């Protein structure tokens, strides 16, 4: 229940930022919101609030990864799929959601494994370069 609550809090916060609700923490207190929902999520992961990176990258991460992916799937559904997707409309929504979420999780695991050398902005740019052609 604690692992699910960690994911729920993080993704609720990200969804609030999409709706431009005020932030109570230091990242965006001045109402300067990130352009990308994924960039915002990466910034929180970089700060490693609530030790989320350790949970994602641990050997026993299956339960946490399931919660993380479930919430990420909801975010992708609302942020991309429900926004009148233009490309690849012949592909099922759940396939696209799974592809984007899976790619994001694997990218974060790659980032952690390689010492998080890239900034969240760089990583966000990489991710958008890969997913934009399919959405």
Q: What is the pLDDT of residues 61-78, one digit of tens each?
A: 888 888 889 989 998 998
Question: Structural domains in the chain?
Answer: 2-134 (1.10.357.10)
- Across all residues in the chain, what is the average pLDDT? 81
pLDDT of 129: 94
How far apart are the two ends of the chain, measured CA to CA in Å?
Answer: 33
The larger pLDDT score, comparing residue 94 to residue 18, is at 94
pLDDT of 35: 62
Whether the CB-CB separation of 97 and 81 falls below 8 Å is answered with yes
Q: Is the pTM of this model over 0.75?
A: yes
Whether the CB-CB separation of 37 and 74 falls below 8 Å is answered with no
Average pLDDT over residues 16-21: 64
Q: Flag whether pLDDT at 22 surpasses 70.
A: no
Cα–Cα distance for residue pair 13/8, rounded to 1 Å? 8
């Amino acid at each position: 229940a604690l692992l699910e609550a960690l994911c729920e809090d993080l993704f609720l916060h990200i969804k609030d930022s999409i709706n431009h609700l005020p932030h109570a923490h230091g990242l965006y207190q001045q109402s300067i919101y990130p352009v990308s929902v994924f960039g915002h999520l990466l910034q929180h992961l970089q700060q490693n609030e609530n030790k989320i990176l350790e949970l994602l990258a641990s050997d026993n991460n299956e339960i946490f990864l399931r919660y993380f992916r479930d919430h990420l799937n909801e975010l992708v559904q609302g942020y991309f799929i429900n926004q009148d997707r233009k490309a690849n409309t012949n592909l099922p929504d759940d396939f696209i959601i799974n592809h984007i979420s899976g790619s994001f999780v694997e990218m974060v695991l790659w980032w952690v494994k390689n010492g998080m050398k890239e900034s969240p902005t760089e990583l966000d740019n990489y991710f958008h370069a890969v997913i934009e052609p399919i959405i």
